[in-house]
A and B are shown apart, each in its own frame.
Chain A
Amino acid sequence: MSEIESKVKAIIVDKLGVDEAEVKPEASFTNDLGADSLDTVELIMEFEKEFGISIPDDKAETIQTVGDAIKYIEENAK
Chain B
Amino acid sequence: MELKRVVVTGLGSVTPVGNTPEETWANLLAGKSGAAPITQFDATNFKTQFACEVKNLNVTDYIDRKEVRKMDRYCQLAMISAMQGVKDAGLDLEKEDKNRIGVVYGVGIGGIKTFQDEVTYYGQHMADGPKFNPFFIPKMIADIASGQISIHFGFHGPNYTTTSACASSSNALADAFNLIRLGKANIIVSGGAEAAICECGVGGFNAMHALSTRNDDPEHASRPFSASRDGFIMGEGAGCLILEELEHAKARGVKIYAEMVGEGASADAHHITASHPEGLGAKLVMLNALEDAGMKPEDIDYINVHGTSTPVGDVSEAKAIKDVFGDHAYKLNISSTKSMTGHLLGAAGAVEAMVCVLSVQNDIVPPTINHEEGDNDEQLDYRMNFTFNEAQKRPVNAALSNTFGFGGHNCCVVFKKYAE
Interface residues of A (CB under 8 A from B): 15-17, 34, 38, 41-42, 45, 48-49
Contact = CB atoms under 8 A, between A and B. Distances in A.
A38 B71 CA distance: 13
Interface of B: 64-66, 69, 131, 133-135, 138
B262 to A, nearest CB: 42
B135 A48 contact: no
Contact of B134 (A34, A41, A49): A41
A34 to B, nearest CB: 8
Chain B interface mostly helix, strand, loop or mixed? loop
Contact of B65 (A17, A34, A45, A48): A17
B26 to A, nearest CB: 35
Nearest to A48: B131
Contacts of B135: 38, 42
Contacts, number: 19
A56 B323 CA distance: 66
Nearest to A46: B133
A68 to B, nearest CB: 19
Nearest to A14: B69
A16 B66 CA distance: 6
B133 A42 contact: yes
Contact of A38 (B64, B65, B66, B134): B134
Nearest to B132: A45
Nearest to A43: B134
A37 to B, nearest CB: 8
A49 B131 contact: yes
A17 B68 CA distance: 10
A15 B135 CA distance: 12
Contacts of B133: 42, 45
A49 B138 CA distance: 21
A17 B134 contact: no
Nearest to B66: A17
Nearest to A34: B66
Contacts of A42: 133-135
A45 B131 contact: yes
9 contacts: A15-B69, A16-B66, A17-B65, A17-B66, A38-B134, A38-B138, A42-B135, A45-B134, A49-B131
Given A16-B66, A38-B134, A49-B131, 7 more contacts: A17-B64, A17-B65, A34-B66, A38-B135, A41-B134, A45-B131, A45-B134
Contacts of A49: 131
A10 to B, nearest CB: 15
Contacts of A38: 134-135, 138
Contacts of A15: 69
Contacts of A45: 131, 133-134
B69 A17 contact: yes
A52 to B, nearest CB: 10
CB-based closest 9 A-B pairs = A17-B66, A41-B134, A38-B134, A17-B65, A42-B134, A38-B135, A42-B133, A45-B131, A42-B135
A19 B15 CA distance: 33
A16 B69 CA distance: 10
B151 to A, nearest CB: 12
Contacts of A48: 131
